[in-house]
Structure formats: structure tokens, C-alpha cells
Amino acid sequence: GAGVSQSPRYKVTKRGQDVALRCDPISGHVSLYWYRQALGQGPEFLTYFNYEAQQDKSGLPNDRFSAERPEGSISTLTIQRTEQRDSAMYRCASSSQRGIATNEKLFFGSGTQLSVL
């Protein structure tokens, strides 16, 4: 596609429910990143993929969070048993590089605003 697409744009869920957030990167982009952004703060790294391989998941807050990119394109970030503290903007970014280059340029989607009631 022309840009990074994320869905849904907004997600409201009740505490304890599972949610799945989707990211469709720019076509052909090798690397895919997930970030979480709280209001007034910069994006906080969660995890990233090169093709289908999850290279780093050190930013995932706990084991309720997981991500996959099975075919090296679309990715899903899943949060199980959601808690109110999970409420935030979740952003996806993609890059044409392999995630190890220091001159990488990230292209971000519009994000999914998650609200846990």
C-alpha cells in the first residue's frame, strides 16, 4: 500500500478481554516495528521483526503482550487479559532496511488508540 495501515483506528474493550491490533506495512518493507505512545510522551519501543522473524521483543511489558508476522508482511500485536494500564496509542512502523542499519528511516502508521475500561 501507499503507507503503513493500522486497524482498527480505535478500540474500546473491557478489562480482561483480549485484543488484536493489526499493522499492514508499506509493500516490500523488510522491517516492522511496534511502539506504544502515552499522551505527551514519545513512542516507546515494544518489538520488531525482520521479515517474519521477531528479532527483539525486549520492550514488551510482560507476557500478556505478543506479536507475530507469519508471512513477513502483516503483523498482529495481541494483548491478552487487558488491563486499564494498557490504554495507549499503539503505533506500527516499517522500514525498507533490515533493522540493523543505524541510518534506518521509519515510516509510521496512524496508530490504534486502545482504551481499556
Partner 1 sequence: LAKTTQPISMDSYEGQEVNITCSHNNIATNDYITWYQQFPSQGPRFIIQGYKTKVTNEVASLFIPADRKSSTLSLPRVSLSDTAVYYCLVGDNFNKFYFGSGTKLNVKP
Q: Which residues bind partner 1 (CB under 8 A)?
A: 4, 33, 35, 40-45, 48, 56, 58-59, 91, 93, 100-111
Q: Based on CB atoms, which residue is closest to partner 1, 67 or 106? A: 106
**Do 106 and 43 contact (CB within 8 A), yes or no?**
no
For residue 85 the three cell numbers come to 494500564
Q: How far is the CB of 54 from partner 1 (least distance, A)?
A: 13
Distances in whole angstroms, Cα of residue 26 to Cα of each of 62, 87, 101: 28, 26, 18
Q: Based on CB atoms, which residue is closest to partner 1, 79 or 106? A: 106
Q: Report which DSSP code applies to 86.
A: G
Q: How far is the CB of 81 from partner 1 (least distance, A)?
A: 26
Q: Based on CB atoms, which residue is closest to partner 1, 47 or 82? A: 47
Q: Based on CB atoms, which residue is closest to partner 1, 35 or 65? A: 35
Element (H, E) at 67: strand 65-68
- How far is residue 8's CA from residue 108's CA, in Å, rounded to a whole number? 15
Q: How far is the CB of 22 from partner 1 (least distance, A)?
A: 15
